[in-house]
Structure 1
């Protein structure tokens, strides 16, 4: 076509010498149609020559849903781990013929309701929980699957288990430090939006401490600056009994703790052992190199995609969280 207009199925039908219905049956793989293989091949070749791309909007009208999975991002920094997870979710959904599109709620983004009403996705996957009325409105509008990684209300109003559990991370951190350390601290992030991740990780540390017979962990909020982190370090070292090992919410917070130690002329692990989460690229470059918990985000992405696809196809979905193997990268900070 040379007039700049969009190629239509009527153009493909004329090029192939068949009806528009035949084009529709072939290109949409409609079952139980007795169309000769030679005719099918002629239609595909005509579509290829003309550069025909089926309309996603028309397909959505015909099938009742789009092939889009809308990913809702909370107001978090999109850094190494989250960016990597988004890439892997995109790939995992593509394997099932679905397109993963993300929307961030950070200000001044358009309201969430405007987004899903415009896109009419087949499913919504939120990294953070959203209000029950919003989920109910989505389902009422025909969005078949509404899921949240860290728990959301089901259609019957009952709370669902998180699709991805954070508690095992905190428990693993605490158990790694438990050998030489009997009093643990927890370095909590100073960004309230991260509570959905930080609180269950802290719960994991608390549970492990209780099982080990340790005191309750000493929880302190650690800002991402050396002077502020130094105040938290002073508090841990002045506690009775003093904290000798710290489980940090993630590697960024752990690096802040290391900066706080440096600010006071101290060093890990001699004065305070530190363990992070995520194994970001700079973890191995820290001074000292940071011990951290690494996650297999590819396994998480494939597991989440599988849950969404199963739900879309009406299959029973697993109640247990997606399981990913946790590994400790042992370095010199702990």
Structure 2
């Protein structure tokens, strides 16, 4: 179906169809005519072509989201859904590409799509960012870091997560451990969270946190738990990178005949669905991904509109969901 078909069905000109369906300003078209055009378009199943919209706006309506080779779990999936909804409110389409092997090379993807903007979760090479901008992509942003070799604060800071974990535990514990993930790619998230824990310990005059890499399996976590409990002074509270790692620590405690928080308090991050089902139920830091999605969408739209935005990280409302483990 074309706009000419809609025009014949509604008994108006093609120009009127274009004005109505594109919500063109300064056009004095009676409301009855507008309603007739919209109803005709619905009956015929007509939708303006993406190419035509791009020509009219002078840019694509696509925002390309780049996912690193990370596990795509509950929280990341929720953020993608909320970003899709937030950008749709600005007539932008959010398309996601995962870098998990053997995905097509990034350059092939953005060249094929020619998006208006690229939003990467992780940092990407400065040369790649320059090539995107040279090809006419107006906005190139990284959520958790600037393009490698470039400057600028991340759009979202993870350090406050570690601060929230440590402040909660240090109310009752004087020696903290940190359960670092065993996936190298997650360092861009884990390192700033660990920095937040270190900052709180330094402010309170406590020892440096005892950092142990903890795989997401009970056997692998046992060695870390033993090391924390035999440290001098012993670790009594652990900040875990996320809920999966925290639950590995809880499982390791059970396998040793121990229990949180009596023998070792544990706090996670993300409040995944299984956190409430852990034994014991997991205390965790909850991130407001809805607010983050709105903030990211606002930064993208503002930059596309040529508005100089704030360079500070997007405010991240955090709360501790207190259960039994800490």
Same fold (TM over 0.5): yes
Q: Do structure 1's residue 204 and structure 2's residue 199 form an aligned pair?
A: no
Cα distance in 1 for partners of 2:205, 2:283 equals: 24
* Corresponding residue of 2:22: 28
Matches of residues 220-231 of structure 1 in structure 2 within 5 Å? 220-231=212-223
Q: Given the alignment, which residue of 28, 50, 56 partners 1:62?
A: 56
Structure 2 residue aligned with 1:299 = 291
Q: Structure 2 stretches of 5 or more lacking a match?
A: none
Task: State the shift of 1:35 in Å.
Answer: 5.1
Please give the alpha-carbon distance, in whole angstroms, between the structure 2 residues aligned to 1:70 and 1:48. 29
Distance in structure 1 (CA, Å) of the matches to 2:324 and 2:30: 68
Normalising by structure 2, report the TM-score. Answer: 0.94
Give the distance between the partners of 2:281 and 2:76, measured in 1 at CA: 22
Q: CA deviation at 1:34?
A: 5.4
Q: Residue 272 of structure 1 corresponds to which residue in structure 2?
A: 264
Q: 3-state DSSP class of the match of 2:276?
A: helix
Could you tell me how far 1:135 is from its partner in structure 2? 1.2
- Structure 1 pair 179/27, CA: closer, same or farther in 2 (3 Å)? closer
Tell me the equivalent position of 1:242.
Answer: 234
Cα distance in structure 2, aligned partners of 1:333 and 1:13: 65
Gapped regions of structure 1 (runs ≥ 5): 1-6
Q: Deviations over 1:110-155 (max 9, x none)?
A: 111122122222211111111111111111111111111112149x
Task: Report the 3-state secondary structure (helix = DSSP H, G, I; strand = E; otherwise coil) of the residue aligned with 2:178.
Answer: strand
Please tell me whether the aligned partners of residues 239 and 267 of structure 2 are also in contact (alpha carbons under 8 angstroms): yes
C-alpha separation in 2, matches of 1:136 and 1:18: 47
Distance in 1 of aligned mates of 2:75 and 2:177: 24
Instruction: Report the counterpart of residue 252 of structure 1 in structure 2.
Output: 244
Show the counterpart of 1:3. Answer: none
SS in structure 1 opposite 2:224? helix
Partner of 1:318: 310
Distance in 2, Cα, partners of 1:84 & 1:182: 35
Partner of 2:174: 182
- 1:186 shift after superposition: 0.4
Is the aligned partner of 1:170 residue 2:166? no
Q: Say if 1:210 and 1:18 are closer, same or farther in 2 by CA, change over 3 A.
A: same
| 1:86 alignment partner, SS class | helix
2:44 counterpart of 1:50: yes
**1:112 and 2:106 correspond:** yes
Structure 1 residues 111 and 158, CA gap change in structure 2 (3 angstroms):
closer
Counterpart in 2 of 1:288?
Answer: 280
Check conservation: 2:84, 2:93, Cα contact below 8 A: yes
Q: Tell me how large the CA RMSD over aligned residues is.
A: 1.9
Number of residue pairs matched by the alignment: 326
Further displaced range: 313-322 or 253-262 = 313-322
